[in-house]
């Protein structure tokens, strides 16, 4: 009967994995409470979207919604971005390159890329304190939005400011308006202790 119990527990964890694989919702937060952070196998999923000024009702003000994020310390994050913007903006420095993600890549409409042509960056999520850069290309003509997915690990707790590094705002530089306003093209990534 001892054997049965072992087989049963193997079956149960196997079933859990296949249930999770099938897309059943399992709260990463509740998992994190019972398992040490280093052993978390499933990421904390964070979703955001980039809306155009036309969509959000403020002309010339593209917007990340939400622009404030939170995840536990030392956990794995899957960041999913849907961007409705179809126009590129001048990107600063080498922020067209993916930086700090697991494997050094991001998925653009499901395709692994490590960099985007500098002329083809619409927005970025750049978090200097987390050594992270996630460039976002414009959506193409035949899609509603482009999907960018990035996986990364959070480090220690803290409030890390992020900023879009593609001049998508107002003014002659493109760096005022949405670019210089919290909740639009900049915000905070809060990493907290459980
Ligand atoms: Cu932007």
Express each pLDDT in 1-16 by its tens digit. Answer: 333 333 333 333 333 3
Q: Give the ranges where 44-129 is alpha helix by DSSP (H).
A: 53-56
Which DSSP symbol is given to 187? E
Write out the two tokens for 123.
């927005």
pLDDT at 120 over 80: yes
Distance (Å) from CA 125 to ligand 1 centroid:
8
Distance (Å) from CA 186 to ligand 1 centroid:
8
Distance (Å) from CA 90 to ligand 1 centroid:
10
Average pLDDT over residues 39-55: 88
DSSP-assigned beta bridge partners for residue 112? 107
Helix (H) or strand (E) holding 146: strand 146-153
Write out the two tokens for 159.
């409030």
Which strands make up the sheet holding 158-163, listed edge to edge?
Answer: 68-72, 186-192, 158-163, 123-127, 132-136
Domains, the chain, with CATH or none: 37-192 (2.60.40.420)
- Residues 23-37 have pLDDT tens digits of 434 444 444 444 445
Write out the two tokens for 114.
């490590």
Contact present, 102 and 153 (Cβ < 8 Å): yes
**Sorting pLDDT into bands at 50, 70 and 90, what band is 135?**
very high
Model pTM score: 0.80
Q: What is d(CA 66, CA 87) in angstroms, rounded to the nearest whole number?
A: 20
């Amino acid at each position: 009967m001892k054997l049965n119990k072992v087989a049963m527990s193997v079956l149960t964890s196997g079933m859990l994995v296949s249930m999770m694989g099938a897309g059943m919702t399992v709260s990463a937060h509740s998992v994190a409470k019972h398992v040490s952070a280093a052993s978390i196998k499933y990421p904390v999923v964070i979703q955001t979207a980039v809306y155009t000024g036309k969509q959000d009702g403020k002309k010339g003000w593209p917007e990340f919604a939400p622009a404030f994020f939170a995840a536990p310390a030392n956990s794995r994050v899957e960041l999913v971005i849907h961007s409705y913007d179809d126009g590129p903006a001048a990107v600063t420095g080498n922020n067209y390159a993916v930086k700090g993600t697991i494997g050094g890549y991001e998925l653009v409409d499901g395709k692994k890329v490590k960099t985007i042509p500098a002329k083809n960056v619409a927005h970025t999520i750049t978090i200097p304190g987390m050594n992270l850069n996630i460039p976002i290309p414009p959506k193409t003509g035949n899609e509603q939005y482009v999907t960018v997915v990035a996986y990364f690990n959070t480090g220690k707790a803290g409030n890390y400011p992020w900023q879009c590094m593609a001049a998508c705002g107002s003014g002659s530089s493109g760096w005022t308006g949405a670019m210089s306003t919290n909740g639009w093209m900049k915000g905070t990534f809060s990493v907290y202790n459980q």
